[in-house]
Structure 1
Amino acid sequence: MSEECVPEGLDLKERCEEELWELINDNRHRISLGVQPCNLIPYLRQARVLSEMDQDEILSCHNLTNRSMRTSYMLDLLRTQGRNGAVALLESLMIHYPILYTHVTGQKPSTEPSGFSGLIKYSELTEYLVRAVTGMQKELQQARCEAGRMSARCASLESEIGQIMAQEEKSRCLQSENERLRRHLFSLQHDVTKLKDEKCDLYMRYTAAIEEKSAVNMRLHDLNLQVYQLQTELQKAKKESEFQQRRSLRRASQPAYPRLQEGVGSLPCQLVKAGRDILAQDLAEAIDSHAELAEQLRCYREENEKVFNENKGLLDQKECLSLQVQQLTLDCNLHQQKSTVIQNQIRELQAERDQAYLSRNEAQSVIARVLAEKDTLRCQLVELQERVFSLQANHNSRRQQSCDESEAEWESPRSSFEDSTIRPRRRLCRMDAVNPISMSASNSECEDPTAGSVRSNIADPPGLESLRRREEELHADSSLEKAETDSLTDSFEFILHVGNEDEHTPRLSPATVSSPDGLSRTTPPPFLMRSRPKALRVNARVLSFSFQGEALLSQLAVVGGNKTGVFVHQVTEGSAAHTVGISPGAQIVEVKYEHNQKALQMVLEDSTLEEALWALGQVTGLCNLSLRHRQDDYEVLLQKLKSSQTSSGDSFYVRVNMSFPAGPNGSLAVSCNDILHVTNTRPINSEDSWHASQVHPCQLLALKSGTVPNYYRAQRLLIRIIEEMSFQTKKSQKNKEKAVRIVSTGRQGRNPLWVSVEDEKTLESGDSSASKTCMSLMPYTLVTPHYPPICRPVLLLPTVLGRILDKKLEGWQGFQLCEPEMLNASEHGARLQRSEILEECEQGGNCCYTLQSVNKVMKKGIHCVLPLGLDCVRRLHRAQIFPIIIFIGQSARSARKLRAKLHRHSQSEEQLLACSRSEEPLLDKLPCLYHSVTPDSWCDQASLLTSLRTIIREEQQKIVWVEPDLW
């Protein structure tokens, strides 16, 4: 029908707008069914009949549900463009759908579009591409230059920033040191003020004692007066009694007179005796009060002298600190002066280097000029020699002509001379040792006086800096060209593949792109570069699901542990978890929920199975579950569980801090300081137990397996044991082995082995004060295995005995005593800041034991004997050095065995026992195991040294188990 409507020879240019659109509308149904808009839109965009907004609306509108509707909507938009829209549509059909074009117009498609729509013709496309490539190359060159300048500027700024940061760090260190010294000075001043106050109190008390003494003297005086008055009254009473006796003798009868006389005689004796008793008692009280006052006065004087000596010592320390501050200030000024002098010397060296380069260039130019003059003189010499040869040849020829017999012999030298006259020698000249093509580059490089060049035509060889710069430039150019080629190829493939979505449309290949010179090339032109990078697919991303988590453990079941991760194992059909799309094989990373109007967050990425079940059981109401898809790891875990290779995904090591005997149902007997490998925190039919096995001391091998109480049950047992121990007598405790190791932590949470559960607001604010408000007794502590080096250091305790035995160990083969180092003030401060100083020496100064001295001995492959205390253990652990700690228990009997050695080193038995009693409780605070030697296991010093050698050899082969920091 189309062929009947449109004559065979009628051209589209001759048709008007209405005729063209009537022709298109007659075939609108066929066009809507057979045309894909994404194939025609690029051509229509180039013909400027569709805009970018039209393209987005056609391809992305939700109302256009199928391809026919999108094509029909595109025809409506082209109808608004009039004749240009109709012509552009027909030309695009002629290019992409030639059969449909023939059905619509009744004409065969031509090999070249009409050009009516303003498109670029095929003949002009090559020229257009060349111009575009040239422009883009110029822009690329400019961008490279700008990038080079910016990179240089960035490098200079980075160097300046580094210098500024270094200066800032130095100033910060000096400020911190100054602040520390100021704080120390303030504390000393506070102590001095406190001592002054105490001294004033002592003076006041002394004054009060003097006043009390004077009051006692006054009381004594009053008592003496009272005694005198009593004596006077007694005498008066005697006289009165005598007078009354005389009167009574006169009146009394003779039988009553003896009794009266006896009573009157006994009365003065009684009065005298009572007075004497009162005076003696008062005198004794006065003497006692005098003695007490004298004793208090003596104590006050001793305390005053002690305070005076302490004040004097503090003043001396203050003077020492002020001297150290002055010394540090002088050292700082000296370092600044040294740095200034070094910088000045560097500037002078740079100036001398530049002057040497200039002198070298001048010398090279002079040498070149002299060589040129020599070449000229050599040329002149060659010309003169040629003239001499020619004159000699003429002379010989004249002399030979007179001789006819030698005519045959004349021809050969004549021909040779004629050849020499015909072909004179080539003039000598000095040739350049480089390619003439690179002369321009070499000349430009020779202008730089600071560096030589391999392309230079000067007589001296090129410098090393020039060779290095040339190699870097060539390497940078090759790498840049390779990167540009790869990026252009990648971007070209991206654009071509995006534009050709129809499987019937032929796709272009980078190998088919041709260059303007007609040669094939595999890299696309630079204007086809992609504007954004390729999108990468992330396989291990975390997805969050929000749903009602009431009775969450009834909605889903979990498996796994801290080693493999906690996975969703089963999901109840119809539950809220199943509705939101949670499926088995997903790892639970995090759970969030609200409790008492607080948002709680629990991270379960590295949690045990017991912790995960407890955390999921706490969820009430709306919860947010973060999951990570790890189907392959989940299937591997299921295979191991089915084959009984493992019972769960838990695996961690703990140190036991208590002892409990074996029980029923396969309970494991454990002693204090044993190492256990926990492999299941929720065994079957036992919710309050763990499945664990004892670890071999030298290898990570399981010895005896069984169940042990979990953390909470073990904590209750530990509290019960401590309560029982508090009621036991000291005598019963001496005969028992150690059953409890008291370990506490300041970390807040239900279980110190677990990840802490905290409020999200607390996590965001970073307030850590709440985590330090309580302490928790720990029946188990986490430990990690460390394999010791060839020879571990040796630390003997108690320190009083260790100082004696260290000298003995130093004489053994394979042992060496750690020697102290004498450091200056600046080096001492730097090493102290880096925590490299283990302990200060007793003689004071800057002599101390350092990590470097220990490492120096260990590198020799021998044991380093440490004459240090317990404070060095944690410092050594931070440096990954794990010493052998041996504690030699002491008793009164064992101390008597070492009496001679102790007296030889100015020590006593009481000091040894006191040191042992003070250091033994500190051993439980160590983050590692130690070996204890009982007092009854050795009889003399020789047997003790023999047992020490055996212990060191056994401890060297063991694994070192280290606890983390619990505070």
Structure 2
Amino acid sequence: MAGECVPCNGPDLKNMGEEDLWELINDNRHRISLGVRPCIVIPYLRQARVLTEMDEDEIVTCHNLTNRCMRTSYMLDLLRTQGRNGAVALLESLMIHYPTLYTQVTGRKPSTEPSRFSGLIKYSELTEYLVRAVTGMQRELQEAHHEARRMTARCTSLESEIGQIMEQEEKSRCLQADNERIRRHLCSLQREVTKLKDEKCDLYVCYTAAIEEKSVMNKRLHELNLQVYQLQSELKKAQMENELQRKHSLTYTSLAETAQLQEEIRRLRCELEKAKKLDPAHHDILAQDLAEAIDSQVQLAEQLKCYREENEQLLREKQGLIDQKECLSLQVKQLTLDCNMHEQKLTLIHNQMKELQAERDQAYLSRDEAQAMIAHTLGEKDTLRCQLMELQERVFSLHAKCSPRVQQRSSDDTEADWGSLRSSCEESLVPNRRRLQRMDAINPMSLSSCHSESEDVAGSSVRSRNAEPPSSDSLRRREDALHADSSLEAAETDALLDDFVLLPSVWCEDKQKPRLCLSNDSISDGLSRTSVPPFLMRSRPKAFRINGRVLSISFEGGALLSQLAVVGGNKTGVFVHWVAEGSAAHTVGISPGAQIVEIKYELNQKALKMVLEDSTLEEAIWALGQVTGLCHLSLRPKQDDYEALLQQLQNSQISSGDSFYVRVNMSLPTGSNGSLAVSCNDILHVTNTRPTGVEDSWHASQVHPCQLLDLQSGIVPNYYRAQRLLIRAIEDMSFQTKKCKKAGDTAAQNQLKAVRIVTTGRQGRNPLWVSVEDETSKSTESDDTTAPKSCVTLMPYTLVTPHYPPICRPILLLPTVLGRILDKKLAGWQGFQLCEPEALSSCEHTTRLQRSEILEECEQGTNLCYTLQSVEKVMKKGIHCVLPLGLDCVRRLHRAKIFPIIIFISQTARSARKLRSKLQRHTQSEEQLLACSKSEEPLLDKLPCLYHSVAPDSWCDQSSLLTSLRTIIYEEQKKIVWVEPDLW
């Protein structure tokens, strides 16, 4: 039958899903962009209702889309937002207008009824659609002719207006020159005034410093004068004492010697009188005695002189001892002060030790009370289980004995007995019991979050029975007991959490502080009570439950950022850093050191969930700031990681817990606040999304091209502010007058390179966005296939990940017209080899096509293809594989973890003339080379990786170009490969 599809080896398009269809189109995006004219396929796409009239106007008349390839690529982006309908409509339009291209893309021959596998357009309506399309095109042609004549008349009138505007522009240019000259003069005067003000401020500072220095010197002089006066007084006092002592010593010595001498003189005179009366012999004897007396007197005088010298020496020694005494007295005073200070310190330490002992005793008491309560609760649960088993056995026995009619009555009696038994039990036990309230000290959340701290302080867990000081032996015993009975402890903890509920009837006066309550005996009864406990009453769901190691807490989270502060980032996790005393977060037991994994809350009667496990600090603060009422917070205790993060922050090793790499899609100049100047396609390492003192900014560093090393760092706009700057830059480029003169081609080209337009429509998990899920509408949206798709979003930054190719990377030279000429020349060098195609059978061709292992087909109708296996075979030899392919192979290679070196050789009319002979030898022309370069250059920005561009004036002939390419390849081989994720 003529209407049926001709069987072929290609995949069945009916059974392919949305992602498979678009993956097939994206793999052939380069071929479609080069071969399809949007004006031909748009009428069919309009008829299929995948494009609107506004979309058609935007594709055809947009100033940013300067050539046909860019318009076709933009049309593919718009069709991607329509999901599977867009892909099917595109393939049907290719089947009608481009059957050969349809076969190359899908591997199937075109059918005469293209709408049968999609159902977008009925076959009966296709002829009518074609007639309307031809009529509409004729009408549009006539309207275009009328519009051309009208625009010609309008152009004549505008030329006269342009002449007038030129005159006004000349006048305004003169006025602007005068204004600029006056402004420069004013700026120079302002700089001089500022300089004088700075000099005046410096003089004031010097004058103030001199006055302060003079005041200090006067004070020091006054102190020195006082010291001199004191020294002079002490010197005079010492001189007076010395003089008195010397006089006293001389007086005492002279009086004693005078009396002795006078006595001797009298004796000598008496002897002399006697000698005069005696004979000469006696006279001689007396003379001799006199001479001896004189000699003895001389000796006494010499002894007196020695005594005086010794006295002076003793006085000097006395003065030294006095000075030494003063020094010792000063040392005694200093030692006394030090002793008093140490006594005060010891007193404070003893007081603190007493307080610590009291706190330790209180902690032991609270721990024992908690253990007693847990044991009591478990005992009551066991009693309740036994009672429940007895009642169930009783019911089963009654059911077994009774007939079907009697069984109904017995069941009613059983229920009545059950109700009477429960009411009697409650009446007998509840009046004698008072409601127990568990305070914050034994909150299960507090016990879980403070488990590591209790091990360091008290060295015990909730399983300890005896209060024991934290010695090394007790720590070892308790650690062994903890590891031996960890399963039993987990069971007790789960049982405890299952029994404790949040009752609204026992809320405190402060509505923000709920307490966990349980109908139970007084703690003073201990474990000695043997009566049967009452049944536990539940009035609302549990406050939190342990899921593995994650704690889920429910509390009133109004103004949540005022209750707690967070620290960390996407690399380390977001941790609670500070909790306000008395807040609801503090009451339910949230403490510093807990990692925030997830937060749930209600907004506009919708349940929202935000995953913060790998979010940045900026995202976490924004997410916590959205909470306005009751919230559910999921926490994971990680005290060790939190302390390690704080240690790194204190040592200035890191500035936050954020760390990720982005590719910049726009150029940002240096600002006045020390912002970092970056260019389009630069790689940045973001280390802080909330720097102190700067709003709406990130702290980032430029990355070394060959190593993961941070270079120059600074401030850059955050994602949302950079997105606004990107939109503003695109608007400015849209309204600028484009000058297509030859002299301005290079400048216009460089200006367009300042912005790289990257869009996405996928709501995936990414450090640049917060993941918000609407849980209430999740199920309904999954069933509704007509729900609108997400809109296209401009991205100023794209997340990238580093890759380190261990072997030589393949080489891809662009544009393809020039690449085919240079591939064989480059492959003739040592270390390079040209990729050879493989001949495949029909079955093998179909299998590899489904696996996306075919990079490109050599000719249509033959099974000679370039495959991944041929590329890998060359790479295993340790040499570069030269790829004679187009841009469509890049994504397939990336999917196989192969990252080629992409080199684009920019072309101008002058550079194309240098290759005229080579082009003619390969049956190519300069116009074809320029057209190919102009069409492929915009497609490079769609690649998920970086490429190297060669300037047209950097080489003079083919040999210099090949030498330059070889140097570029060796440099690119050393660099890190940065790859973006799939944005659709």
Alignment TM class, shorter chain as reference: 0.3 to 0.5
Larger Rg: 1
TM-score (norm 2): 0.45
Q: Looking at both structures, which has the greater relative contact order when contacts are Cα pairs under 8 Å and sequence separation is at least 6?
A: 2
TM-score (norm 1): 0.46
